[in-house]
Amino acid sequence: EKDTESKPQQTKENKENETAEELLEDVKGYGYWKREGDLKDRDQFIPKQIESNSNVSLENKNSTGASAWNTAGTWEEKHYIKSQIENFFNSALPSKKLKNINLLSVKNYSGDTYTFFVRKKAKFVYDCSLTLEINSESNDDPVEIDIKEINNHDTDMEFEFEYKKMDSNLLMAAKKNKANIEKIIKDLFIEFFESQK
């Protein structure tokens, strides 16, 4: 029969007073945690509360509109959702006037609109499609124009307009105002971007 050395039973209080090295001494398979190099500087990494008179500014926010944490101005993207775009457009459209056309609302927004920040500069990108509702004095009922290929990264690309069934006078007015409608949409995206700063 082998003699086994009996260890004195430790109380809960004694266990709490042991160091990490002592606690891990008898644990097999956890040698990584016992390395002296990992434990020798542990006293230097104790969190300290920031004093109110500290030089650290918690309100240091970029003027570009980047997040407060991004004080270095590194890469960051901020994406906007469908309701943000549609709500902004629908609140701004009534103030935009065209001859023989009333711009009523925007719906069915689909695509991507976002701001990205790099080197403390904000760049605004949109690539989407939407449906514009219009009417006129000769046609009170709202009619739709589907507008596709709306973007600000391909300057040679014209927006694609698909005219739904409408009164011939309204259709003619809409086609004549195609460039004006395109400009209004571009301007609204710029206004939206400015409102998000």
Q: How far apart are CA 150 and CA 127, in angstroms?
A: 6
Per-residue DSSP letters for 52-105? TT-S--TT---TTS--TT-TT---EEEE--HHHHHHHHHHHGGG--BTTBEEEE
pTM of the prediction?
0.64
Q: What is the pLDDT of residues 147-162, one digit of tens each?
A: 998 999 877 667 889 9
Q: What is the mean pLDDT of the chain?
A: 79
pLDDT at 60: 47
Cα separation values, 7 from 4, 131, 159, Å? 9, 80, 83
Split at pLDDT 50, 70, 90, the class of 61 is: very low
Comparing C-alpha atoms, which of 191, 181, 164, 173 is closest to residue 84?
191
Q: What is the pLDDT of residues 66-123, one digit of tens each?
A: 677 777 767 888 999 999 999 999 999 989 989 889 999 999 999 999 998 887 788 8
Comparing C-alpha atoms, which of 144, 196, 140, 138 is closest to residue 168?
138
Comparing C-alpha atoms, which of 185, 164, 3, 181 is closest to residue 98?
181
Contact 160, 149 (CB under 8 A): yes
